[in-house]
Amino acid sequence: MCLNHNETSLNPSHFEDSDETNVPAHRDIEWNEYSELIKGMRFFDPHIHMVSRTTDDYQAMYQAGIVALIEPAFWVGQPRTGLSSFKDYYSSLVGWERFRSSQFGIKHYCTMGLNSREANNEPLAEQVMEILPLYIYKEGVVGVGEIGFDDQTPAEEKYFRLQLELAKKANLPVQIHTPHRDKKKGTERSMAIALEHGLDPSWVIVDHNNEETVKSVLDQGFWAAFTIYPFTKMGNERMVKVVEQYGPERIMVNSAADWGISDPLAIPKTAALMKMRGISTETIQKVTYQNAIDAFGKSGQIDVSDFEQGLESDHAAKFHGNSILRGGQQPIANKNSLLIQ
Ligand SMILES: [Zn+2]
At residue 90, what is the residue type?
Y
Mean pLDDT confidence for 203-220 = 97
Q: How far is the CA of 73 from the centre of ligand 1 (A)?
A: 7
Q: Give pLDDT, residue 105.
A: 95
Classify residue 223 by burial, with Cβ atoms within 10 Å: 0-12, 13-18, 19+.
Answer: buried
Query: Running DSSP on this structure, what letter comes out for residue 340?
Result: B
Q: How far is the CA of 14 from the centre of ligand 1 (A)?
A: 22
Please list, in sequence order, all residues whose beta carbon lies within 8 angstroms of the beta carbon of residue 173, skipping any fewer than 6 positions away: 142, 143, 144, 167, 203, 204, 205, 295, 296, 298, 299
User: Residue 293 and residue 197: Cα distance in Å, rounded?
Assistant: 24
Neighbours of ion ligand 1 (CB under 5 A): 74, 256
Where does the chain have alpha helices with state H? Answer: 2-10, 31-34, 55-63, 83-94, 96-103, 122-136, 154-170, 183-196, 214-219, 236-246, 266-276, 281-285, 291-296
Mean pLDDT confidence for 297-304 = 98
CA distances from 176 to 167, 187, 265 (A): 12, 9, 22
Q: What is the mean pLDDT of the chain?
A: 90
Is pLDDT above 50 for 205?
Answer: yes
Which of left, alpha, beta for 170 (phi over 0: left; psi -120 to 50: alpha)?
alpha
Digit-coded pLDDT (tens) for 272-291:
999 999 999 999 999 999 99
Q: How far is the CA of 341 from the centre of ligand 1 (A)?
A: 34
Q: How far is the CA of 255 from the centre of ligand 1 (A)?
A: 9
In order, the DSSP letters of 60-83 are: HHHHTTEEEEEEE----SS--SSH
Q: Give pLDDT, residue 300.
A: 98
Going by pLDDT thresholds of 50, 70 and 90, the confidence category of residue 340 is low
Q: How many residues does the chain have?
A: 341
Positive or negative torsion for Cα 49, 54, 59, 64: negative
Topology given in CATH for the domain delimited by 41-299: TIM Barrel (3.20.20)
Q: How far is the CA of 72 from the centre of ligand 1 (A)?
A: 6
Q: How far is the CA of 337 from the centre of ligand 1 (A)?
A: 29
Q: How far is the CA of 19 from the centre of ligand 1 (A)?
A: 32
Q: How far is the CA of 75 from the centre of ligand 1 (A)?
A: 8
Q: How far is the CA of 66 from the centre of ligand 1 (A)?
A: 18
CA distances from 237 to 28, 50, 212 (A): 10, 25, 16
At residue 32, what is the residue type?
N
Q: How far is the CA of 115 from the centre of ligand 1 (A)?
A: 9
Is pLDDT above 90 for 36?
Answer: yes
Q: How far is the CA of 125 from the centre of ligand 1 (A)?
A: 18
Of residues 331 and 318, the one with the higher pLDDT is 318
Least confident range from 15-19, 145-149, 247-251: namely: 15-19
Of residues 73 and 234, the one with the higher pLDDT is 73
Query: Running DSSP on this structure, what letter comes out for residue 16?
Result: T
Q: How far is the CA of 306 from the centre of ligand 1 (A)?
A: 24
Q: How far is the CA of 13 from the centre of ligand 1 (A)?
A: 21
Least confident range from 91-105, 273-287, 303-317: namely: 303-317
Q: Give pLDDT, residue 9.
A: 38
Digit-coded pLDDT (tens) for 55-88:
999 999 999 999 999 999 999 999 999 999 999 9
Going by pLDDT thresholds of 50, 70 and 90, the confidence category of residue 13 is very low
Q: How far is the CA of 106 from the centre of ligand 1 (A)?
A: 19
Q: How far is the CA of 198 from the centre of ligand 1 (A)?
A: 25
At residue 65, what is the residue type?
G
At residue 35, what is the residue type?
S
| Number of separate helices (H) and strands (E) present in the chain | 13, 8
User: Residue 178 and residue 314: Cα distance in Å, rounded?
Assistant: 38
Q: How far is the CA of 77 from the centre of ligand 1 (A)?
A: 11
For residues 341 and 329, the answer to whether their CB atoms sit within 8 Å is yes
Is pLDDT above 80 for 7?
Answer: no
